[in-house]
């Protein structure tokens, strides 16, 4: 089905080519599309972080969702510890060690990048 209020297809779908204007309206701040896109983008970044830490794909996705749900930001990486990881549901000791080690590396990279931007 196209159009209509109960359709999953946006009402503008049949008439607009390309559908940029419709997507821009849907992606406006505060809309469900914008919020979903932000969630997806943040989750993807955390999945990449966990993969780089050596976490297997399945747990990496689960951990990423936990980080997004708990609003963990990259500037908080040095605040992570075993207790916080356990509160987030991360209990595999090897994963905790790998994540904490990788967190130090990523934090330093972000910090160095910020320092260079300030000086430059």
Cβ count near 100 (within 10 Å): 17
Name the pLDDT band for 109 (thresholds 50, 70, 90).
confident
Which residue, among 57, 52, 61, has the nearest Cα to 99 in the 3D structure?
A: 52
Domain boundaries defined on the chain = 1-30, 32-119
- Tokens matching residue 51: 């993969």
pTM of this structure: 0.63
* pLDDT tens readout for residues 34-66: 444 455 688 999 999 999 999 999 999 999 999
* pLDDT tens readout for residues 71-103: 999 999 999 999 999 999 999 999 999 999 999
32-119, CATH topology level: DNA polymerase; domain 1 (1.10.150)
CA-to-CA distance for 82 and 43, rounded, in angstroms?
A: 21
């Amino acid at each position: 089905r196209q159009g209509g209020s109960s359709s999953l297809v946006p009402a503008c779908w049949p008439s607009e080519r390309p559908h940029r204007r419709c997507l821009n309206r849907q992606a406006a701040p505060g809309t469900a599309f914008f919020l979903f896109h932000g969630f997806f983008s943040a989750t993807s970044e955390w999945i990449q972080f966990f993969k780089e830490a050596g976490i297997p794909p399945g747990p990496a996705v689960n951990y990423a969702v936990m980080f997004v749900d708990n609003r963990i930001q990259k500037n908080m990486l040095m605040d992570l510890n075993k207790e916080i990881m356990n509160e987030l549901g991360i209990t595999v000791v090897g994963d905790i060690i790998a994540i904490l080690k990788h967190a130090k590396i990523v934090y330093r990279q972000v910090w160095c990048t910020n320092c260079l931007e300030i000086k430059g």
